[in-house]
Structure 1
Amino acid sequence: MAEILVLGGAHIDRRGRISGATAVGASNPGAWHQEAGGGGFNAARSLARLGHTVTLISPRGGDADGEAVSQAARAAGVIDRPFTFLDRQTPSYTAILEQDGNLVIALADMELYKLFSARRLSVRAVRDSIEATDFLLTDANLPAETLAELGRMARQFGKPLAGIGISPAKVIRYVSELSNFDMIFMNEAEARALTGRETPNYREWPSIMRQAGLKGGAITRGREEVIAWNATESAALLPPQLSAIGDVTGAGDGFAAGFLHATLEGKSLPAALSVGVASARLALASEMATAENLTQALLADTLALVPEAEIVL
């Protein structure tokens, strides 16, 4: 198993789920659920549950929410190394979900992430952690200049680096140093934002991304075919449908964790894509942002339900 350093979002997720048909512009009956979340944090928990040694570095407020995130990290086996700002609030993500688990609207209060400046990467403890790790994972919650510097440090130390897109508004923070990323995980809306391109044929995305300087990654498309690529080949897979969705919030993060897990085990691109889809399936079936019962054995059982990915041109 690998040592993985995650530098990215770790905050509080608040999700309200409507219990009936959605009535826009009106009061809707439902229930609230709160847990620790964030793109990097969700992937970190899943990777730790799969047996990797995972260290998390993220900014945190000096409040009860910050302590809740730290407790959730420890419970999942993640080594938590936060930058704590005692006079600030921990970031939060508040979402309203329809009865079937799909997102209606969300509000992200992420101002604290601006304080994770590029200079913090030069702190001795952070720099030593980057130099010592096997693999780096980040997300687009961090400022663009921080992501750019992390890309340069990854190249300097010869460390593979992956990113999670988070949202169309944030994924563009990767643009300046795309060539230093080995892969970025995103959905199709984020792919359009990152490249400024549209394509009627989604299988053109690998070529478009390579032209933009990104050598590898994956693009999810909800219930539609997922496509992944590296420097030399591309693969596609149609995810099997779930009869019921628990929560869509962490599905992309679950996909990234599964894909990375398979990649770190030396599996081929098509095999990694299949494992990513299996991991996302487990996240989607859970009412939590991650599958809390995730194990290598459960992932292997779920993988048996996923068709093999095919190499595409």
Structure 2
Amino acid sequence: MKEREIAVFGGAHVDRRGRISGATVLGASNPGTWFEEAGGGGFNAARNLARLGHRVRMISPRGGDAADDIVAAAAAAAGVIDCPFIFLDRKTPSYTAILESDGNLVIALADMDLYALFSPRRLQQRAMREMLAASDLVLMDANLPEETLAALTDTASRGDRLVAGIAVSPAKVVRFRECLSGLSFLFMNEAEARALTGAEVSEADEWPALLRAAGLAGGVVTRGDRAAVAFDRSGTCLAIPPALPALADVTGAGDALASGFLAARLSGLDVAACLRHGIAAAGITLRSPFAASEEMSASNIERALALVPVPQMLS
């Protein structure tokens, strides 16, 4: 696989996850365990793409605190070129989640105010312009302000490269609304697709028409263990993720799917093959306790593909 230049803009912070040991009881104290690691939609994808053999730069604002050290160490361990904007008088953003015993999310709190300081003006710096010009893929997540996403998409989409987004959450995906036409792909779950379009649908194959009408040329909508749908200008496909005996943690699975999909796209594969690769990458992450699995590799994705059904192409 040819090494490609990738620039990732977005969240790189500390994830704190508590996992309830037994049945979840709302409004009460629940016994469980606590886990802390580096995370963020963009950063998870950056580490996955680096482990898949690409040269990846991560650009994100961080504070001058111990959490910054955690992120920097995780970047080095994954082979990501760390390019932060450091605000010494601020704290690094954080994401705190409570998970049920089966790994599904109960509730989460995102302390992300620092990302609002990543203004479009920073993209005008010479180093940023040169980085964008040299990139085969520019990936961003919706932790960034709406105006920064618009400026980044406008600049990146002028060249012959992939430009992709990660929705992050229903509350944040709407920040992409004004720049959808500049994206090659947007990766989202069904709740995020509803927030973006304002539509309620019952079948996965209804999403592509709605998202195309909103201005999006390509995208993927995941639906947990139900069929995921992917589309681009050439067509639409559906694929059902393989059943897993147990989930270690759902955190990062969507970011992994985006990583596997985009790595396959950089290799020239069509939308159906890309979706299979994305689902295979997500499966590797779902079996891992980490948001960016240390087992992510091109060879492990090839092995995982044996479990992923061939997508159904739709007219």
TM-score by length of 2: 0.98
Aligned equivalent of 1:254: 256
The structure 1 segments of at least 4 consecutive aligned residues displaced by more than 6 Å after TM superposition are: none
Aligned equivalent of 1:291: 293
Aligned equivalent of 1:23: 25
Aligned equivalent of 1:187: 189
Aligned equivalent of 1:114: 116
Question: 1:134-145, aligned counterparts within 5 Å?
Answer: 134-145=136-147
Shift of 1:58: 0.3
CA distance in 1, matches of 2:276, 2:158: 32
CA distance in 2, matches of 1:291, 1:204: 32
CA distance in 1, matches of 2:292, 2:73: 16
Aligned equivalent of 1:95: 97
Aligned equivalent of 1:131: 133
Shift of 1:124: 1.2
Aligned equivalent of 1:156: 158
Instruction: Give the gaps of 5 or more residues in structure 1.
Output: none
Shift of 1:201: 2.7
- Please tell me whether the aligned partners of residues 13 and 38 of structure 2 are also in contact (alpha carbons under 8 angstroms): yes
- Please tell me whether the aligned partners of residues 16 and 33 of structure 1 are also in contact (alpha carbons under 8 angstroms): yes
- Please tell me whether the aligned partners of residues 60 and 66 of structure 1 are also in contact (alpha carbons under 8 angstroms): yes
CA distance in 1, matches of 2:234, 2:268: 16
CA distance in 2, matches of 1:232, 1:292: 34
SS in 2 for 1:209: helix
Aligned equivalent of 1:5: 7
CA distance in 1, matches of 2:286, 2:203: 26
CA RMSD in angstroms, aligned pairs only: 0.8
Instruction: After superposition, give the CA deviation of every residue in 1:168-191 in whole Å (9 maximum; x if it has no partner).
Output: 000000001110001000001100
Match of 2:171 among 156, 169, 172: 169
CA distance in 2, matches of 1:77, 1:269: 28
- The alignment-based identity, stated in percent, is 57
TM-score by length of 1: 0.98
CA distance in 2, matches of 1:160, 1:273: 16
Shift of 1:195: 1.2
Letter in 2 for 1:249: T
- Please tell me whether the aligned partners of residues 15 and 94 of structure 1 are also in contact (alpha carbons under 8 angstroms): yes
- Please tell me whether the aligned partners of residues 5 and 129 of structure 1 are also in contact (alpha carbons under 8 angstroms): yes
CA distance in 1, matches of 2:270, 2:155: 27
Shift of 1:299: 1.0
SS in 1 for 2:307: coil
- Please tell me whether the aligned partners of residues 210 and 231 of structure 1 are also in contact (alpha carbons under 8 angstroms): no
Aligned equivalent of 1:226: 228
CA distance in 2, matches of 1:154, 1:83: 20
CA distance in 2, matches of 1:111, 1:245: 31
SS in 2 for 1:156: coil
CA distance in 2, matches of 1:160, 1:263: 9
CA distance in 1, matches of 2:189, 2:256: 13
Query: 1:43 and 2:45 equivalent?
Result: yes
Aligned equivalent of 1:202: 204
